[in-house]
Amino acid sequence: MHIEIQYLPCLEYVSLLIHSNHVEFEVMENFPKQTFRNRTYLLGANGIECLTVPTIHISGQKVLTKDIRIDYFQDWERRHMGAIRAGYGKAPFFEYFEPYISDIFAKKNKFLVDLNIDFIQLIMKILNVEFSFTLTDQFHSTNNLSHWNQINAKQDWQLRTNFKSIPYRQCFGVSFVPNLSILDLLMNHGKESRNILS
């Protein structure tokens, strides 16, 4: 399967990964702004919260995804970890997964691709999914096995056919919020998450 690399990806994205024998991550594209490559959605006390990893851009220049650097002049890791603690600190599996998440943030990966891969590998380990991947060495136009750019932050996920949402226990609210970051499911259901995704 061919797809972009997303940050703490949504359930729709992870459900595609767990059903793939091998994933080819597209890193030779020109990095597009305002996508799930550097943003995710969590559920907190005040509803849905969007978290964005700030990146370094040189005005007017196109940069390949593999070369996108994270902007550490902004205090984003503390904000993201704070949002995760506030949203999931009382969730059943928070104490099991929080140290691994903190360790990834503490690495201070220079490149967005490396940060996202670290999180995806952690997610697959928790879900007990054998996971192999490669990175593209040239830009691949889409083909039959490609889901590149299909899971789009600007489009309602219900307009796509990849994924059917099944309600599960969440920490906040009376109405179920579908297709959030995989963290929402993992924090509430742990290893059982794989069955829910399947």
Confidence of residue 148 (pLDDT cuts 50, 70, 90): confident
Delimit the domains of the chain by residue range: 2-139+175-197
Q: Note the pLDDT tens digit of each residue in 51-68.
A: 999 999 877 889 999 999
Interatomic CA distance for residues 24 and 94, integer angstroms: 30
The pLDDT assigned to 140 comes to 78
Q: Buried (b) or exposed (e) across 26-42, using 16+ Cβ within 10 A?
A: bbebebeeebbbbbbbb
Per the CB < 8 A criterion, the answer to whether 196 and 166 are in contact is: yes
Q: Are strands 23-26 and 2-4 parallel, antiparallel or unpaired?
A: parallel
Taking alpha carbons only, the member of 18, 19, 14, 20 closest to residue 1 is 20
Per the CB < 8 A criterion, the answer to whether 188 and 91 are in contact is: yes
pTM for the predicted model, two decimal places: 0.94
Report the pLDDT averaged over residues 37-52. 95
